[in-house]
């Protein structure tokens, strides 16, 4: 509810996501929204997201174990979630630390409200 119709087409995460229920979606809005939902449309990514949400910050090396996937696969999924703006990563030393972006999740939630 902070930001509303800025209608920026850019991939830059800004005033995201027109509402699905308010009025018929334009093709571009629908495409953008679908991209975000697609980020959540994978079991591994959902579990990854829940693991990151469980703590304030999580290292990629911590994820490889619980998710039972190879390192490239973990990297692939973190990138997918980051591209969607749902998590952000910060590299400190050798480690990559991830944390969720609550606003982004809220925006997605608003899209189906």
Radius of gyration of the chain (CA): 15
Among the listed residues 5, 6, 21, 65, the single contact to its own copies using CB under 8 A: 21
| Rounded-to-integer distance, Cα 16 and Cα 104, Å | 8
Number of residues that bind its own copies (CB under 8 A): 34
Residue showing tokens 């979630």: 81
Which residues is 98 bridged to in the sheet?
Answer: 58, 89
Give min distance, CB of 94 to its own copies, in A: 25
Work out the burial of residue 75: count CB atoms within 10 Å of its CB; fewer than 13 is exposed, 13-18 middle, 19 or more buried: middle
Give min distance, CB of 93 to DNA, in A: 3
Site stretch for its own copies (CB under 8 A), options 4-12, 48-56, 75-83, 90-98: 48-56
Q: List contacts with DNA (CB under 7 A).
A: 2-3, 38, 41-42, 44-45, 59-61, 64, 69-80, 89, 93-96
């Amino acid at each position: 509810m902070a930001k509303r119709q800025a209608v920026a087409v850019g991939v830059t995460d800004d005033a995201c996501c027109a509402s699905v229920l308010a009025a018929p979606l334009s093709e571009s809005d629908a495409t953008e929204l679908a991209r975000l939902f697609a980020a959540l449309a994978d079991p591994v990514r959902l579990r990854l997201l829940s693991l990151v949400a469980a703590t304030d910050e999580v290292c990629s090396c911590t994820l490889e174990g619980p998710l039972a996937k190879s390192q490239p696969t973990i990297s692939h999924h973190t990138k997918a979630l980051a591209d969607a703006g749902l998590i952000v990563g910060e590299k400190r030393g050798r480690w990559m630390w991830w944390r969720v972006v609550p606003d982004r999740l809220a925006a997605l939630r608003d899209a189906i409200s």
